[in-house]
Structure 1
Amino acid sequence: MKVFSSDCKFDYSWEEVSTANWRKYCPWNEKSTHVIAVDTLSRYVDAETGILRTERLITCKQTAPKWLQSLMGGKDTSHVFETSYVDPVTKKITALCGGWQKVKNAVEDATVTAFSDNARKGKEGFEAVLAMSRRVFSEEKLRQQQAAAMA
């Protein structure tokens, strides 16, 4: 089985990245239009480490050719199980994703290519979410400062 890994660094503060992480599949992200729904299955903070562990089920519209979909169950949607770890001490977010459908050996190369392309698009989309978050939070901060000055 082939494995795909991607490591990204963003030119944003830890606070901005860790907050925007939960909005990476929102309407601000034009690169994730294939995501239909994101359901949080569990979330807890480890009392000893402070690490936030979250499990989510991400429902996606399949973009694979019909013949490939038939090899993977014939459905036009797929589910990705994501487990993420947010470590406030090391300021690192780790997300592990896996599908629940059978993956055939014959399509491993295509799958790895798709994951690579999706990771690139995901980074581009997340950059847009970060930029929008920064703008919205700055506007709100300015609005609050102006309101306080008028009071």
Structure 2
Amino acid sequence: MKVFASDCTFDYSWEEVSTANWRKYCPWNDKSPHVMAVDTLSRRIEPDTGILRTERLITCQQNAPQWVVSLLGGGTTSHVYEVSYVDPASKKVTMCSTNLTWSNVLSVRETVTYQPSKTDPLRKTDFSQDAKITALCGGWQKVKAKIEEASVERFRENAKRGREGFEAVLEMSRRVFGEQRELELRQQQQMVA
């Protein structure tokens, strides 16, 4: 098993990040054209905690080399199962995902968290990501190690692109929804006056 880990801080409040998270794969995110569909399987609020629990199926266009697709069989479409927890009381979003496609060959279990930054909790959000990548090749240790190393490197590249795309979504959300919120506040002020 190999582990990928990454941390960064977004210059956006937790409220902005946790809201924009649902638009991460929107059309204006040009860093995620491989995402074909995001289907919500279930969504509920836990009555005792107020935590929003959501299950989603993410369908992607696989960009694996053609020889890998031919060797392992199947098509170029892959699926990822994601469960997320939004805890408004502690201001923490936790997302856990695992690949469903080729999971008998390569298992990827990713956990992502967003929480207010320790340095500036009102205006910044800390992001933490880790992925446990395990090649399931039986006793072929050298092959297994090479597959895991290559997978970690690919994950690193995709994670960088993903953060860049999310930054674009955050910026667009701030512009669009910030203007909308400003307009609502002006309307409220006019009604009071």
Shift of 1:72: 4.0
Q: Given that residues 58 and 79 in structure 1 are in contact (C-alpha distance below 8 angstroms), is that contact kept between their aligned partners in structure 2?
A: yes
> 1:3/1:82 Cα in 2 relative to 1: closer, same or farther (>3 Å)?
farther
Bigger Cα Rg: 2
State the match for 1:66 in structure 2: 66
Q: Given that residues 8 and 123 in structure 1 are in contact (C-alpha distance below 8 angstroms), is that contact kept between their aligned partners in structure 2?
A: no
Amino acid at match of 1:67: W
Q: Distance in 1 between matches of 2:179 and 2:79?
A: 36
Shift of 1:145: 4.9
> 1:48/1:135 Cα in 2 relative to 1: closer, same or farther (>3 Å)?
same
Are residue 112 (structure 1) and residue 152 (structure 2) matched? yes
RMSD of the TM alignment (CA)? 2.2
2:163 to 123, 135, 146: 123
Unmatched runs of 5 consecutive residues or more in structure 2: 107-134, 136-143
Unmatched runs of 5 consecutive residues or more in structure 1: none
Aligned length: 151
The DSSP-based 3-state class of the residue aligned with 1:98 is strand
Give the TM-score normalised by structure 2: 0.69
The percentage of counterpart residues that share the same residue type is: 63
Deviations 1:84-120 (A, max 9, x none): 1112122121111111122253422222222222111
State the match for 1:16 in structure 2: 16
Larger mean CA deviation between 140-149 and 36-45 belongs to 140-149
Q: Distance in 1 between matches of 2:97 and 2:66?
A: 23
> 1:12/1:72 Cα in 2 relative to 1: closer, same or farther (>3 Å)?
farther
